[in-house]
Amino acid sequence: MSKLRVQCFGLSLDGYGAGPNQDLENPLGVGGHAMFQWFFPTRTFQAMQGGNGGTTDINDEFARRGFENVGAWILGRNMFGPIRGVWPDDQWKGWWGEEPPYHASVFVLTHHARAPLVMAGGTTFYFVTEGVEVALQRAREAAGGKDVRVGGGVSTVRQYLSKRLIDEMHLAVAPVLMGRGENLFAGLDLTALGYQTTEHTPGPGVTHVIVKRQ
């Protein structure tokens, strides 16, 4: 059965999944790159950038697993770009250039309608104004029986967690403290929601933690 998954979600020790003050120069928020130093050297990430080489250790294994059996994606608007409010035009096409790394249908949560955006490499962005459950329904249909991956950001993951819709979550916990930004767990009682840790594996500069809904 199709699952709703969170994969490769960078997290600080104090629970932040993004730094403060996200903008064009800081897509992960100020200091947010520190949570992804485990990911950038991997062969999986290097291939996403069109390069060769990269590490092939346990970090790369988790990075690679994050893309397996994924048929569609869901993103919050902040993950698509730094623009707020009504779309001024159709010029902004995401952080990733002409060929995003998704190669599938991507459903972007927003309060402001926009026409679908077809990109190179098989990625089409659909902008969903009807909320997280409608986005999930459409993503499942597009996935054709494969899993749906929630790419973030923090607010989007929190909304799906609060509704107990996420089946499995891979958190990559980095040994850094953010202090402020967007906290994944604030106000959420994961135990009461039925989630439990099922796996924890150390890697270079990170601990991989798997949380599943029971």
Domains in the chain with CATH codes: 4-20+29-83+97-213 (3.40.430.10)
The HSE-up count of residue 43 (CA atoms within 13 Å, CB side) is 10
CA end-to-end distance (rounded Å), the chain: 15
* Residue 6 predicted with pLDDT over 80: yes
94-131 core/surface letters (b: 16 or more CB in 10 A; e: else):
beeeeebbbebbbbbbbeeebeebebeeebebbbbeee
> For the chain, what percent of residues have pLDDT higher than 90?
88
Measured CA to CA, the distance from residue 5 to residue 132 in angstroms comes to 14
Give the angle subtended at the CA of 210 by the CAs of 138 and 43, to the nearest 5°: 85
Q: Does the bond joining 187 to the residue before it have cis omega, within 30 degrees of 0?
A: no
pLDDT tens digits for range 128-165: 999 999 999 999 999 999 999 999 999 999 999 999 99
- Cβ atoms of residues 15 and 179 within 8 Å: no
* pLDDT for residue 160: 98
Mean pLDDT of 200-212: 98
Choose among 126, 203, 124, 190: nearest CA to 163.
190
